[in-house]
Amino acid sequence: MMSNEKSPKEEQFVEISISTTAGFYPAEGFERAPVHQKVSVLLEKAQKELNIKDIAGWIATVTDGSGKRQVDPARSYLDNGLSGKVEIDWGPSEGGGG
């Protein structure tokens, strides 16, 4: 078994709020998550909690100082450059095809 040594820096958390067309997860406030956790973990919780059936084509985005940008759910909050309190908008892509 590998030793699981973590420096205090690695034990950081983010506070997450997910906004969907079906409502908010958590219903009020934010849920604390480790920065190394994949974004998909809380998106799946939100899907179950809010009874969302079909998430095909859905994208997760955040708005920061440089505007709106997409988040990769398969990567961690840290890998997505997210920290502190994060509000994720999750829903069908607004993309216009062409």
Q: What is the pLDDT of residues 42-63, one digit of tens each?
A: 999 999 999 999 999 999 999 9
- The pLDDT score that the predictor gives to residue 8 is 52
Q: 71 pLDDT exceeds 80?
A: yes
pLDDT at 7 over 90: no
Cβ-count burial 68-77 (b if 16+ within 10 Å, e if not)? eeebebeebb
Query: 35 with 68: CB under 8 angstroms?
Result: no
Q: Which residue has the higher pLDDT, 15 or 66?
A: 15
Which pLDDT score, from 0 to 100, does residue 98 have?
54
Quickly list DSSP for 23-86. EEESSSS-EEEETTSBHHHHHHHHHHHTT----TTEEEEEEETTEEEEE-TTSBTTTTT--SEE
CA-based diameter of the chain, in Å? 51
- Predicted local distance difference test score (pLDDT) of residue 95: 63
Report d(CA 18, CA 20) in Å as an integer. Answer: 7
Domains of the chain: 13-92 (3.10.20.90)
